């Protein structure tokens, strides 16, 4: 017998009509004889409403209390879905993180799952019941509620699928799959039928936030297939799975971009060992995430370092760097918060040669200046001026043959 975990995000349970539509999907699965377990997020807007209440009282409220507070959102949507399913004669019950045995560490608001003691849910499934788990939350050793961070319900769903030894984890959302690029920029963007975990991780880190990264990492470790699909239209979505099960390898699977970038350059640093750690130590201590880093050695015995940070951290990072660069006797610090990243991603580039060259040529033809380059085994990223993002994405999408057939060019 087939067993699946179905996860429904906030828009899929956003109001009573959507809860009924979600019940349709679950009911259909049960009628097909599939053992089905469900994970739900809070009704869309509810988590923000609760956070808003707390912030109005205190902007930096205690994380334990915040978790006690926001975890109620999923409890509401899970109970409502159970009520709707029961009305239809489907045996269903809702379970909170503690009831479902989701043990986590005590890092409130960003807890990690330690184990899923799912005997109770397993028992219920085997009796033909549909357990409905509140996503996004668990319980620590003290019996206190913890939450897994934004988008944590995806991770809940994958963890449950692994614990229940399910055949697949269906993640229902408001998009019908992963696209070769953002259809708002390239109307010819095509839905990707199958994508490897690695590619999905690279895509997500580029701002294509369809799945929480942790959920993909977890699925990859246990090789749990994820079917990312729409709860609004019943069409196949995108399968996220092991690379060797992903057929039809093109060189490139997708083109991603992220506008939310800023760049800081420190020029003329006297070049000696330890400058990188002297620079990035204080930035890490301030909790800032550095992304792309490029270092060039000049001929005069000094070196230039350029790196990017999320645009929201730009001012804070500039302040730190200006202090540090003085200590390092660097010549100059320059910042630019109007840059963006564009990446091409694909496991196929490992076996196709000339991918990098083709990317650079394509951008050159459009007279787009490349400010930084960084590469991984399955990704090439360039940093360019933000104003060129659309042109870069469009031209790369066409150049690598990703434009959907039949779509107007």
The residues that touch a second copy, with contacts defined as CB under 8 A, are: 16, 19-20, 50, 53-54, 56-58, 61-62, 64-66, 68-69, 71-72, 75-76, 78-80, 82-84, 86-87, 93-94, 96, 98-99, 143-145
Instruction: Supply the minimum distance, in Å, between the C-beta of residue 380 and a second copy.
Output: 46
Instruction: Supply the minimum distance, in Å, between the C-beta of residue 65 and a second copy.
Output: 5
Instruction: Supply the minimum distance, in Å, between the C-beta of residue 49 and a second copy.
Output: 10
Residue by residue, DSSP assigns 46-67 as HHHHHHHHHHHH-TT--HHHHH
Q: Of 19 and 378, which CB lies nearer to a second copy in the complex structure?
A: 19
Instruction: Supply the minimum distance, in Å, between the C-beta of residue 101 and a second copy.
Output: 10
Rounded CA gap, 134 and 157, in Å?
10
The enclosing H or E element of 188 equals none
Q: Of 94 and 381, which CB lies nearer to a second copy in the complex structure?
A: 94
Q: Is the dihedral of CA 173, 179, 184, 189 positive or negative?
A: negative
Instruction: Supply the minimum distance, in Å, between the C-beta of residue 97 and a second copy.
Output: 12
Spell out the residues 6+ positions from residue 261 whose beta carbon is closer than 8 angstroms to its own: 291, 308, 309, 310, 311, 339, 340, 341, 383, 386
Q: How far is CA 82 from CA 85, 216, 320, 402, in A?
A: 5, 27, 51, 42
Q: Of 91 and 288, which CB lies nearer to a second copy in the complex structure?
A: 91
Instruction: Supply the minimum distance, in Å, between the C-beta of residue 61 and a second copy.
Output: 4
Tokens encoding 128:
């033909």
Spell out the residues 6+ positions from residue 142 whose beta carbon is closer than 8 angstroms to its own: 106
Instruction: Supply the minimum distance, in Å, between the C-beta of residue 16 and a second copy.
Output: 5
Q: Of 28 and 87, which CB lies nearer to a second copy in the complex structure?
A: 87
Q: Of 52 and 312, which CB lies nearer to a second copy in the complex structure?
A: 52
Q: Of 79 and 318, which CB lies nearer to a second copy in the complex structure?
A: 79
Tokens encoding 365:
């033809």
Q: How far is CA 30 from CA 26, 170, 402, in A?
A: 6, 14, 37
Burial tier of 50 (Cβ tally within 10 Å: 0-12, 13-18, 19+): middle
Q: Of 71 and 362, which CB lies nearer to a second copy in the complex structure?
A: 71
Q: How far is CA 330 from CA 97, 147, 272, 292, 323, in A?
A: 52, 43, 12, 20, 10
Q: Of 38 and 309, which CB lies nearer to a second copy in the complex structure?
A: 38
Beta bridge partners of 195: 240
The residue behind tokens 């000339």 is: 354
Instruction: Supply the minimum distance, in Å, between the C-beta of residue 44 and a second copy.
Output: 14
Spell out the residues 6+ positions from residue 244 whose beta carbon is closer than 8 angstroms to its own: none
């Amino acid at each position: 017998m087939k067993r699946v975990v179905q996860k429904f995000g906030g828009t899929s349970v956003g109001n009573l009509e959507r809860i009924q539509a979600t019940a349709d999907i679950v009911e259909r699965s049960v009628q097909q004889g599939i053992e089905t377990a469900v994970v739900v997020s809070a009704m869309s807007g509810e988590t923000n409403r609760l956070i808003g209440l707390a912030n109005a009282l205190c902007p930096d409220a205690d994380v334990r209390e915040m978790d006690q507070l926001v975890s109620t959102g999923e409890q509401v949507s899970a109970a409502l879905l159970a009520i709707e399913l029961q009305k239809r004669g489907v045996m269903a019950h809702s379970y909170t993180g503690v009831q479902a045995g989701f043990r986590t560490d005590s890092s409130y608001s960003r807890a990690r799952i330690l184990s899923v003691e799912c005997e109770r849910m397993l028992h219920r499934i085997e009796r033909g019941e549909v357990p409905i788990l509140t996503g996004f939350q668990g319980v620590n050793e003290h019996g206190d509620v913890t939450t897994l961070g934004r988008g944590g319900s995806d991770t809940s769903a994958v963890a449950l699928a692994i614990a229940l030894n399910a055949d697949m984890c269906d993640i229902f959302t408001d998009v019908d799959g992963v696209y070769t690029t953002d259809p708002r920029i390239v109307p010819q963007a095509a839905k990707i039928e199958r994508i490897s975990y690695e590619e999905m991780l690279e895509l997500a880190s580029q701002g294509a936030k369809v799945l929480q990264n942790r959920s993909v990492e977890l699925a990859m470790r246990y090789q749990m297939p994820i079917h990312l699909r729409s709860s609004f239209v019943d069409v196949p979505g995108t399968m996220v799975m092991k690379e060797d099960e992903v057929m039809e390898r093109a060189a490139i699977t997708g083109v991603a971009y992220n506008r939310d970038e800023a760049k800081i350059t420190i020029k003329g640093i006297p070049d000696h060992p330890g400058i990188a750690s002297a620079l990035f130590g204080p930035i890490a201590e301030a909790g800032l995430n550095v992304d792309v880093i490029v270092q060039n050695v000049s001929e005069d015995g000094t070196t230039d370092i350029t790196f990017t940070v999320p645009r929201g951290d730009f001012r804070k990072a500039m302040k730190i760097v200006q202090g540090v660069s003085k200590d390092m006797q660097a010549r100059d610090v320059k910042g630019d918060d109007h840059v963006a990243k564009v990446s091409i991603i694909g496991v196929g580039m490992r076996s196709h040669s000339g991918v990098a060259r083709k990317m650079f040529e394509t951008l050159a033809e459009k007279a787009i200046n490349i400010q930084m380059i960084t590469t991984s085994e399955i990704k090439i990223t360039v940093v360019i001026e933000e104003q060129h993002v659309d042109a870069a994405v469009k031209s790369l999408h066409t150049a690598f043959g990703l434009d959907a057939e039949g779509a107007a060019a």
